[in-house]
Structure 1
């Protein structure tokens, strides 16, 4: 809602899609049913990419109005990455973990920029996407562990701090390249300030990740969004 009205027409269906895909593995205890739910979305994206046979659906239909075939292919990779959520095996290594964050977070920025017809350099999408994805992931760690998942390839406090510091460094790097980002793409990055606040907490107190104490005050969150919406600076 902090985005301009014209941008919302693209971002609402994109983020609604993301919510539906993200929740698909969690609405059932049966892995095969979760796999079927994810496959339904992959089939819908295939239809959008082909430009024919698009199913009538509250999310799929408006998404198809703005999503390009290339964007549909990228979102298909996002859905594929979400298959990790269905099962309870740990990440094979840190490379797989990083790939998961990139596919489920940075991909939204890449696709969103395409739907907004705005330039967002790949380096900025990758850096901001890593920071946004990591901050959300760290906040989800307690629930993931409670469900029997192994959310971090290395859960030691010093490893968590190192990841959070990297996220902060990548936010700084993305902001240094702010001049290369179209103003129309700025709403995709309005969450960076909140991610920065969460990652700073994780650096100061890595134990807060496991205890579920990472949080941003609602007033501060609204204030940062309002500032970003008014100035366009993230």
Structure 2
């Protein structure tokens, strides 16, 4: 039977293949820890897919809170929990970051609209940005604190891009991650956005979300040349963001019409390019 790390690695490979690829570029002695973080993220991000009612979903999030708070052997028998607790201990990761991430994930379980751009950026900060910063702490705890702000920009760019990629799924569910203030400026509303073709303001709202992702991505890219090679694997998921956003801007690949995709070859090439040279060429 497969061991704990094999199960954790397969969880990431199956549920989050882009992050799986990036972890392969980390030093061999750091990969297991990264896989534990990414497997935990996949587990909590996928709760809505597996548990379709909000209250049982909150119970699951609370289980994770209890496991992380207790540490040690807590969660024994659950490979991801075992691996995560080992990583938190060995890398001295702050448990508060996981608590905040789990608190933010409550939003996923309900169909409440995202109130504002500020709320969206806060959500991105507690989820994707926190994950990048935790990965950086695993890779190089001495250098990571100096790049916390860059992690915030990177996380917003990556998370907003990811939300756009998941837009067809969210609309089918009746979820709206596009902030209400952005929708209002586009002449739409959360209710109109998720109904039918989204109404005439839907494409304007999507364009505004793409612009917001690009704004954060541009700030990240300007600062990314200062990243030491030791931290680069934590930020490698950003290697695909610009290509995804460019594809979304093509009317034939609008997130409103279906899932935006990049070929496996393209994804591998972009990841390899940034893994080898970073963002110094930008």
Give TM-score scaled by structure 1 length.
0.88
Match of 1:63 in 2: 84
**1:215 Cα deviation from its structure 2 partner:** 1.6
**1:31 Cα deviation from its structure 2 partner:** 1.8
Match of 1:219 in 2: 265
Partner of residue 163 from structure 2, selected from 134, 137, 143: 137
**1:206 Cα deviation from its structure 2 partner:** 9.1
Shifted more, 89-98 versus 107-116: the winner is 89-98
Partner of residue 99 from structure 1, selected from 115, 122, 147: 122
Alpha carbons 1:110, 1:122 under 8 Å: kept? yes
> What's the secondary structure of 2:94's corresponding residue?
helix
Is there any run of 5+ residues in structure 2 with no aligned partner, and where?
1-23, 184-192, 194-201
Superposed, which structure 2 residues align to 1:179-194 within 5 Å?
A: 179-194=225-240
Match of 2:208 in 1: 162
Q: Give the direction of change, closer, same or farther, for the CA distance of 1:112–1:162 in structure 2 (3 Å limit).
A: same
CA distance in 1, matches of 2:112, 2:165: 20
Shifted more, 135-144 versus 174-183: the winner is 174-183
CA distance in 1, matches of 2:98, 2:53: 24
> What's the secondary structure of 1:180's corresponding residue?
coil
Match of 1:14 in 2: 37
Give TM-score scaled by structure 2 length.
0.74
CA distance in 2, matches of 1:2, 1:74: 24
Match of 2:3 in 1: none
Shifted more, 204-213 versus 166-175: the winner is 204-213
Match of 1:197 in 2: 243
Alpha carbons 1:202, 1:208 under 8 Å: kept? yes
1:40 aligns with 2:63: yes
**1:69 Cα deviation from its structure 2 partner:** 6.1
CA distance in 2, matches of 1:91, 1:170: 19
Q: Give the direction of change, closer, same or farther, for the CA distance of 1:54–1:31 in structure 2 (3 Å limit).
A: same
Q: Which whole-Å deviations, capped at 9, do the CAs of 1:143-179 have from their partners, x for residues lacking one?
A: 0110121231225323322332232232232222224
Q: Give the direction of change, closer, same or farther, for the CA distance of 1:4–1:232 in structure 2 (3 Å limit).
A: farther
**1:112 Cα deviation from its structure 2 partner:** 1.3
The alignment of Structure 1 onto Structure 2 pairs a total of residues equal to 231
> What's the secondary structure of 2:79's corresponding residue?
coil
Superposed, which structure 2 residues align to 1:85-124 within 5 Å?
A: 85-118=108-141, 119-120=143-144, 121-124=147-150
> What's the secondary structure of 1:29's corresponding residue?
coil
**1:66 Cα deviation from its structure 2 partner:** 2.6
Larger radius of gyration: 2
